[in-house]
Amino acid sequence: MAEYRITGLSSIVIAELVAEVGPLWHEQHQARLTARPRRRAVGAGAKHRFVFVDRLLATLVSLRHGTTHDVLVCWFGVDRSTITRAIGEVRPLLAQRGCTVAPDVRLRSLAEVVE
């Protein structure tokens, strides 16, 4: 999935994004968990099957190719709501980093991503 033809980014750039944006996502996720009263013990409940790297890749593929969430559901093997939530969480983090895309623009090359 992290192949250049699919994401438009090299594995080095993806690794840099994971290192830079991953901790921001984790902080946001922890803040959401602590913002509400717990009903279960810490560590109880369902575990994430859709890790941050997959969330990032799904977002990059969605931005580059404009794929529907249903296609991403098939590729990643998760529910549609998980894909929708993941893209909704990761896209603003990429925007904070300076990676923004107008809603109707489809990215085709690394130069367009950087632009």
Show me where the domains of the chain are located: 4-36+48-114
Count of helix runs (H) and strand runs (E) in the chain: 6, 0
Going 55 to 10 to 12 to 92, the CA torsion angle's sign is negative
* Per-residue confidence band for 87, with pLDDT thresholds at 50, 70 and 90: very high
pLDDT digits (tens, 9 = 90+) for 38-84: 777 777 766 667 899 999 999 988 888 888 899 999 999 999 999 99
pLDDT in tens, 18-50: 999 999 999 988 888 788 887 777 777 666 678
pTM here?
0.73
DSSP code string of 86-101: HHHHHHHHHHHHT---
Q: Encoding tokens for residue 17?
A: 């994004």
Type of residue at 63: L
